[in-house]
Amino acid sequence: MEKTQEPTDAPQDQNVPASKTVETSSGSTVVKLTKRAAITQILLAVVANITIISSGMGIGFPSIAMIELTNSTTSVVLSESEATWFAAITSIMCPFGGLLSGYLLDKIGRKKALYSINILSIISWAIMSFASRTDPDILFIELMVARVIIGLAIGLSSTPASVYAAEVGHPNLRGRLTLLTAGFTGIGMLIVYSLGYMFKDDWRYVCTICGAFTIVSMLTVIPLPESPSWLVGKKRLPEAERYLKVIRGIKEDNHPEIKAELKALEENIARFRSSESKKTSKMVQLKKPEVYKPLTIMCTFFVFQQFSGIFVIIVYAASFSIEAGVAIDPFLSAVLVGFTRVVTTLLMAFISDKFGRRPPALFSGFGMACCMFGLAACAIFPVADTELNWIPTALLVTFIFTATLGFLTLPFSMNAEVYPTKVRGFASGLTIFFGYTMSFIILKVYPTMVSMLGSENVFLFFGVVSLIGILFVYFFLPETKGRTLQDIEEYFRGDKCTDATKQDTKA
């Protein structure tokens, strides 16, 4: 499952071209961006996010393993109940990984947190690679242990790479760099879907390949410099200065702009610690309208996200394709789903900048509803043996495209925008915990829904949820594009919810 960093970009001051430093709206001073520094920062952010690919593979793995695990004629298999636990258990573990992520980021740093993700992933892939071939009970236990571990790794991966990218990136690059985490999660899913297509009858071999890739991913972390922000916070100033020079593309010793940026980092951290020492109880904060209003809105948004069928398709892509009547190979269908998600995630960076949050979300809900109603019609009136057999495939790909434009990505990205600074980490954590809990519920009950209601009625259910989601977006979801974090906080503190959501925000 995919998370974005708080947007902290500030435009470069065009009125001070003679200076090599830029002062952001928060008062921080950074060295002016050069071509060399930009290339360095992009490469560092990309390398940090290579770690996230393994988490994406972990999210998508049940899709390519489920058919063989439940229908194999050459190996032991899982029961239907065991298979749903196999698919869903990661969703209930991810929140705990997210909580652990915040602790590790502060205690051991960004770089070692990336190592932790890779180590957990390697252990998980190794357990599944050597899972029992003869005893179904042992196989189930091994798979559950492995999926619990990868669930923690997925939760861990939601923050370190994006935080690292935000801290090493110049303000002019920072917003785009923090989107890499969502993109690399999608790439990981596309890779595992492709491996499933190439090795349909050997999910253990797929696990071995994923484990080998994760070992390489861990090795790529070795040359990464630690975040200067974290080093300053730990009072390791010589190291912070050395790495900051690398990140900013400066070779000279005692460079005045580097000294100025280090001083600004020290001052910002001192202010943060001062405010932390004065903070009130989290439960008291939750009673304030600027906290409970966005918390209610974001948790509700996650309900619509999960019960509109998005994560069902991502996790059960191959088997879902069979139930939807897709004419092509179900594993190839999963590959198309993964490819569509990657491409659309890349487009989101430009769409969100131009149109804001609400218009793409409204379009997303409408497109998802149409696609689900179309799949229901295809289930009622099968087209598999007709010249219209391409329609279910087109509907499935279009569903992923429209979902990624809004309902899949926006709950995660807006989660970093709508809460006051003093409770952002706590409230965001609560929201993500709730979202993953909803994910666990729908992934666990989906096969039962299909067997009890029939696939056509399940598709209709997902379509109706998407339609209701449109109404929720129109009446309650605020537009955050073009608003500062302070503006958003003041908006929720007032009593203008319905009117404000209807205001058009110009690009």
pLDDT score for 277:
52
Cβ contacts of 5 within 8 Å, gap of 6 or more: 162, 163, 165, 166, 178, 416
Closest CA to 211 of 118, 109, 80, 292: 118
Alpha carbon distance 230, 246 (integer Å)? 16
Alpha carbon distance 220, 150 (integer Å)? 20
Cβ atoms of residues 329 and 197 within 8 Å: yes
**Per-residue confidence band for 1, with pLDDT thresholds at 50, 70 and 90:** very low
Report residue 501 as tokens: 């959501």
**Per-residue confidence band for 204, with pLDDT thresholds at 50, 70 and 90:** very high
Between CA 107 and CA 94, with CA 4 as vertex, the angle to 5 degrees is 65
Distances (CA, A) of 385 to 321, 375, 389, 392: 16, 16, 7, 12
DSSP letter for 79, please.
Answer: -
DSSP letter for 424, please.
Answer: H
Cβ atoms of residues 362 and 370 within 8 Å: no
Which residue type does 69 have? L
For residues 392 and 506, the model is more confident at: 392
pLDDT at position 408 over 70:
yes
Most confident of 264-278, 281-295, 470-484: 470-484
Distances (CA, A) of 97 to 53, 145, 159: 16, 15, 10
pLDDT score for 17:
35
pLDDT score for 278:
54
Cβ atoms of residues 118 and 207 within 8 Å: no
SS3 482: coil
For residues 329 and 361, the model is more confident at: 361
Which residue type does 23 have? E
Closest CA to 358 of 471, 254, 196: 471
Closest CA to 82 of 154, 138, 122, 155: 138
CB neighbourhood size of 26 (10 A)? 11
- DSSP string of 11-70? ---TT-TT-SEEE-TTS-EEEPP-HHHHHHHHHHHHHHHHHHHHHHHHHHHHHHHHHHHH
The arithmetic mean of pLDDT across residues 150-154, rounded, is 91
pLDDT at position 118 over 90:
yes
Report residue 273 as tokens: 């610690």
Share of the chain above pLDDT 70, in %: 79
pLDDT score for 16:
33
3-class SS letters over 176-244: HHHCHHHHHHHHHHHHHHHHHHHCCCCHHHHHHHHHHHHHHHHHHHCCCCCCHHHHHHCCCHHHHHHHH
Cβ atoms of residues 129 and 208 within 8 Å: yes
Alpha carbon distance 364, 375 (integer Å)? 17
Entry field: residues in the chain: 507
**Per-residue confidence band for 174, with pLDDT thresholds at 50, 70 and 90:** low
Closest CA to 122 of 37, 184, 58, 176: 58
Cβ atoms of residues 293 and 451 within 8 Å: no
Cβ contacts of 180 within 8 Å, gap of 6 or more: 45, 46, 49, 52, 161, 162, 165
Distances (CA, A) of 225 to 41, 230, 250, 364: 11, 11, 14, 39
Please state the separation of Cα 7 from the chain's center in Å: 15
Most confident of 64-68, 237-241, 270-274, 459-463: 459-463
Most confident of 216-225, 270-279, 330-339: 216-225
Cβ atoms of residues 247 and 225 within 8 Å: yes
Alpha carbon distance 450, 452 (integer Å)? 6
pLDDT score for 503:
45
Alpha carbon distance 400, 310 (integer Å)? 7
pLDDT at position 274 over 70:
no
Q: Where are the alpha helices (DSSP H) in 289-419?
A: 289-307, 310-315, 317-323, 330-355, 358-380, 391-405, 410-414
pLDDT score for 414:
74
pLDDT score for 11:
38
Closest CA to 86 of 58, 109, 114: 58
**Per-residue confidence band for 87, with pLDDT thresholds at 50, 70 and 90:** confident
Closest CA to 405 of 366, 360, 438: 360
- Where is average pLDDT lowest: 308-312, 352-356, 370-374, 463-467? 352-356
pLDDT score for 122:
96
Alpha carbon distance 496, 293 (integer Å)? 11
pLDDT at position 28 over 60:
no
Alpha carbon distance 504, 483 (integer Å)? 12
**Per-residue confidence band for 507, with pLDDT thresholds at 50, 70 and 90:** very low
Alpha carbon distance 421, 489 (integer Å)? 9
Strand partners, 31: 21
